[in-house]
Structure 1
Amino acid sequence: MTAPLSARVHRSGTVFGAAVVMVAAAVWAAHHGLQAVEFEGHTGSRLAAVWGVTFVILLGQTVLYHFERPRRPSPRARRQLDALHVAVLLPVYNEDAGYLRLGLQSMLDQTRRPTSVHVVDDGSTSDDYAAVRTWWTAAAAAAGIVTTWHRQPNSGKRHAQAAGVLASPAADIYVTVDSDSCLAPDALEEVLLPFARQRVQSVAGIVLATNHRTNLLTRVTDLWFTTGQLTDRSALSAMGTVLVNSGPLAAYRAGVIRDNLDGYLTETFMGRPVMFSDDSLLTLYALLRGRTVQQPSAVVFTALPEKASHFLRMYLRWMRGSTIRSVWRMRYLPVTGIAYWAHFLRWFGLALSTVVLGWLLVVEPLHYGNTPPASFLLVPFLIGWAQALRYLGVVRSDERMRQRAVTWLLMPLAVIAAWTVLRAMRWYGAATCARTGWGTRQNGAEVTLTAAKAGREALVPEVERTLQLAVPVTTG
């Protein structure tokens, strides 16, 4: 078996300088476009003001996300962190057995192993995972990791996590992962480091794709998702106000989950139980107690949708959950806090950009006969490429830089999708947020593991051999 997947986020002054230059070029393109079109006086001045506000916000975000630093506590604080009981909560529902085993193997490969791992099969219908369970139980015992494996009737991800919480009452830190999460070897060690500061209540990891080279969709999705984490979420982390942790890897002080467990399991919206947006609710609980940050050196790999239908269902679920969570943030976050206004600015920016896009592409051409100049088309692409320079700062063990540069050049596709299909789905999700069902994986795993995706040439034969030799066990 080859070495485990690993990655690191490289910080560079050159990347920062290039991002500032490209943002400045976008400002110039917007200014040139305004001068090139004969807008009426009031319209022209309003558009100039809108662009000005937009670029001030963008430049501020650019500066902030370059201020994010991995936390590096003192040796004494590290010893205290080493003494913590770290419990991993791993819910499983209709997951591919290969991805599940890959994730469990990554627990064994950690430089700082978890104290306990609690696997809860939430009534899967596609597999009983008996062979994987046999292997894992023996491997965990040999590694000194306390583990439980419980199968329950299908009740949803939150109830599966709660079963893990109840099985680990002595935990100091809960780490939530997905059933397809493959942790980089130092991921757990790194995700714990910010907890050396008592005010920190939750820590988000950086999520990369295991299957990013499968097709064009996975490449563009990985580019878009990674860039978002290293720009928007990094900027929020610099202020201690991360709004949403990612499911594949996040860590919480135990009290954040234990003290809110009843509310977490019984959340309703418009009289309906909420079955998604679990990570954003846990992040909100943490934010109400202190600081929420991201640790850019804590990396996890996950499987991205490989078909457009799967991706669109997932994204629609995210947008519905985001809308519900926005209502709770407006209601519960203190208006005097940074998090409240950071959240407000995100919605303000979304609404403003939607209105401006509609005005330039519909109102101006049809009502005033003003067609936006070609220079306007450069603006979103320049901004996209500027932000995606952060993607180039991720060094992966399974990919060379020139391959990542090719993916970086695809950013216009992500920009076009974000401004058209995803923007429409954003508003559709907001309008249909009362539909609170999960929407994916009811018919089994939609993504399966191959050696190419895992970055381990011998992985699939090893999985197949283990599944053939393992003795089935009963579940309970």
Structure 2
Amino acid sequence: MIVFLNYQTEKQKWILFLLFFFCIVLLGYLNFLSKGTGSWAFGIYGSIMVCYLLGKMILSFFYKPYTDEPLNLKVSVFIPSYNEQPAAVVKTIQSILNQDYPVHEIFFVDDGSPNQSGYQAALQLKKEWDRTHKKDIFPKLIVHRLEKNSGKRHAQIWGLQQATGDIFFTVDSDGYVYPNALRELLRPFSDPLVMAVTGHINARNRDRNLLTKLLDMRYDNAFRVERAAQSVSGNILVCSGPISCYRKEVVLDNIEHYGNHTFLGDLVQSGDDRCLTNYAILKGKTVYQETAKCDTDVPETLHQFLKQQIRWNKSFFRESVQAFKIGFQKPKILIWVILELSLWILFGFIILVSLVFKVKVVGYVLLLYYFMYLAVSSYARNVYYIWKHPLIFLLAPVYGLIHLGLLFPLRLYALFTIKGNGWGTR
């Protein structure tokens, strides 16, 4: 039986399914027509992409969130921060204090920010919390500042080494965690094989401009399709930093490596979420819990967006090497990693062959086919979003163009400058 998420009527469910099916048929037809241009490379890539997209979407249709009651688990929360705005810090901490599942302790650690306003806001909130709550009342709020900027991992490690919880909950300092999010994140841990759980992220500042609207749609696809599909196999590749939980042994058994992880001779500071996920994959299952939600701010300017993507892509390449090694022990992981890496490489080859060399031979008909293919595939992979924001859904091909014109070259840049470090956000 196909399971659809968050759609309240049978009519909406069938519209979703039929729209996706129509897109797949249209992609197949475009792929067939492109053979007339003589571009075998485009035809091969198109066929593989249709199969991959179809496979991911079918798996996501079968995804179901866990519904078991949470076990009695003690939870430690970690909020690293660097140059964060005071209002954002207070909202994040308050959202944890307002969880409907009891939190044992909260560690807010400022990573030696030059701008201490966020840290001071956290200190003030702690003073108010301690004044109005008895010492034996949980959660305990611990606020600390590192003397010098040491990187996000070391800000986390300061708290991790002192934590007493059974579950470690990572949160970003600019996020809002929904009141029931922790309870929902804990449901999958009723399965003893589950080592890590990630939730669903929305763009809090979605309505700021066109870029933030497109990024909210991209986030929705990344979770509803990609992580949902991977979760069905029990092996999501990334537990996102703003809302993820890990069993304590996953982190503590690897904390020495986490703090001293090197790549090509340099100490690694970014990519903490992928690194922690790899630790969890080695021990068991990593899953997605769609019902656990948080809002976070996405980049509002092109400059911020490009910096974020460079950091994420460096992490993608670096941690994919480790995930590839893990894949020899976990075959399902190997399949996901090979598909993610090989399709990207194949995409670059097709762009070079089909759109640079072949266009000179067959004219711009092939280019037209490619952009039609890009538009239809953008609608297919973002089909869930049609019920969330129909008008923004219509703009799905715009993000596809951004991927072609900016993100693909940027990924190459990230690969050739992979030794760089830093938070990469502010």
TM over 0.5: yes
> What is the one-letter code of the residue matched to 1:20?
F
Cross-structure match for 1:409: 394
SS in 1 for 2:207: coil
The structure 1 residue matched to 2:86, chosen from 87, 94, 97, is 97
Q: 1:155 to 1:230 in 2, by over 3 A?
A: same
- Residue type of the partner of 1:309? H
Q: Does residue 1:174 correspond to 2:168, yes or no?
A: yes
Distance (whole Å) between structure 2 residues aligned to residue 288 and residue 245 of structure 1: 14
Deviation at 1:281, TM superposition (A): 0.1
Inter-CA distance 93–376: structure 2 relative to 1 (3 Å threshold): closer
Cross-structure match for 1:388: 382
Counterpart amino acid of 2:87? G
One-letter code aligned to 1:100: V
- CA offsets 1:134-178 (integer angstroms, 9 cap, x no match): 22443376473122111112211111111111221x210000001
Question: Secondary structure of 1:138's match?
Answer: helix
User: Residue 249 of structure 1 aligns to which amino acid in structure 2?
Assistant: I
**Percent identity at matched positions?**
29
**2:75 equivalent to 1:86:** yes
Describe the SS at the equivalent of 2:62. coil
Which amino acid in 1 is paired with 2:289?
A: Q
Please say if residues 196 and 287 of structure 2, whose CA atoms lie closer than 8 Å, have aligned partners that are also in contact.
yes
Amino acid at match of 2:6: H
Residue 33 of structure 1 contacts residue 373 of structure 1 at CA under 8 Å; is this kept in 2? Answer: no
Q: Could you tell me how far 1:330 is from its partner in structure 2?
A: 2.0
State the alpha-carbon separation in 2 of the partners of residues 297 and 29 from structure 1.
37
Does the 8 Å contact 1:201/1:290 carry over to 2?
yes
Indicate the larger mover: 113-122 or 333-342.
333-342
* Aligned equivalent of 1:59: 54
Q: Give the deviation of 1:9 after TM superposition.
A: 5.7
Amino acid paired to 1:409: L
Task: Give the counterpart letter for 2:371 in structure 1.
Answer: L
Aligned to 2:116: 127
SS at the partner of 2:196? strand
Contiguous gaps of at least 5 residues in structure 2? none
Structure 2 counterpart of 1:33: 34
Task: Report the counterpart of residue 24 of structure 2 in structure 1.
Answer: 23
Partner of residue 208 from structure 1, selected from 183, 202, 206:
202
1:423 is displaced (CA, Å) by 0.6
Which residue is 1:196 aligned to? 190
Give the equivalent residue in structure 2 for 1:425: 410
Distance 1:49 1:272, change over 3 A: closer
Return the letter of the residue paired with 2:418.
C
Q: Deviations over 1:259-303 (max 9, x none)?
A: 100000001111111110000000000001100011011101111
After superposition, residues 198-277 of structure 1 pair within 5 angstroms as 198-277=192-271
Q: How far does residue 370 in structure 1 lie from its aligned partner after superposition?
A: 6.9
Change beyond 3 A, Cα 1:238–1:118: same
2:306 is the counterpart of 1:312:
yes
Cα separation, 1, equivalents of 2:258 and 2:410: 26
* Counterpart AA for 1:97: P
Change (3 A) 1:261 1:356: same
- In structure 2, the residue matched to 1:185 is 179
Q: Deviations over 1:214-243 (max 9, x none)?
A: 111111111112212221221111111111
Counterpart contact for 1:91–1:122, Cα < 8 Å: yes
**2:153 matches 1:163:** no
Q: Distance in 1 between matches of 2:110 and 2:237?
A: 28
Which residue of structure 2 aligns with residue 112 of structure 1? 101
Deviation at 1:84, TM superposition (A): 0.8
More moved, 276-285 vs 136-145: 136-145
Amino acid of the structure 1 residue aligned with 2:145: R
Q: CA distance change for structure 1 residues 325 and 162 in 2, over 3 Å: closer, same or farther?
A: same
Q: Does structure 1 retain, via aligned residues, the 8 Å contact 2:355–2:367?
A: no
**Cα–Cα, structure 1 residues 246 and 220, in superposed 2: closer, same or farther, change >3 Å?**
same
Match runs of 1:304-343 below 5 Å: 304-334=298-328, 337-343=331-337
Amino acid at match of 2:234: G
Further displaced range: 354-363 or 199-208: 354-363
Further displaced range: 52-61 or 209-218: 52-61
> 1:51 corresponds to which letter in structure 2?
G
Q: Secondary structure at the match of 2:66?
A: coil
CA distance in 2 between partners of 1:47 and 1:439 (Å): 35
1:399 matched residue in structure 2 = none
Question: In 1, distance between residues paired with 2:297 and 2:240?
Answer: 13
For the residue of structure 2 that corresponds to 1:118, the secondary structure is: strand
Structure 1 residue ranges without an equivalent (≥5): 1-7, 395-403, 442-476
Contact 1:16–1:66 (CA under 8 A) maintained in structure 2 = no
Structure 2 distance, partners of 1:97, 1:70, is 34
> What TM-score, normalized to structure 2?
0.91
Residue 13 of structure 1 corresponds to 13
1:345 to 321, 339, 353: 339
CA distance in 1, matches of 2:212, 2:189: 33
2:66 maps to which of 67, 71, 75: 71
What residue is the counterpart of 1:139 in the other structure? Answer: 129
Q: Relative to 1, partners in 2 of residues 1:370 and 1:440: Cα closer, same or farther, differing over 3 Å? A: closer
Post-superposition shift, 1:34? 2.5
Q: Distance in 2 between matches of 1:240 and 1:137?
A: 42
Bigger mean CA offset, 108-117 vs 140-149:
140-149
CA contact (8 A) 2:31 2:47 kept: no
C-alpha separation between the residues in 2 aligned to 1:393 and 1:104?
Answer: 31
Distance 1:137 1:356, change over 3 A: same
Does the 8 A contact of 2:103 with 2:138 survive in 1?
Answer: no
3-state SS of the aligned residue for 2:109? Answer: strand
d(CA) in 1 for partners of 2:77, 2:18: 39
Q: C-alpha separation between the residues in 1 aligned to 2:49 and 2:22? A: 16
User: Could you tell me whether the CA contact under 8 Å between 2:53 and 2:381 is conserved in 1?
Assistant: no
2:289 aligns with one of 280, 291, 295: 295
**CA-to-aligned-CA distance 1:31-62 (integer Å, 9 cap, x gap):** 22324x3x2xxx54x64444323211211111
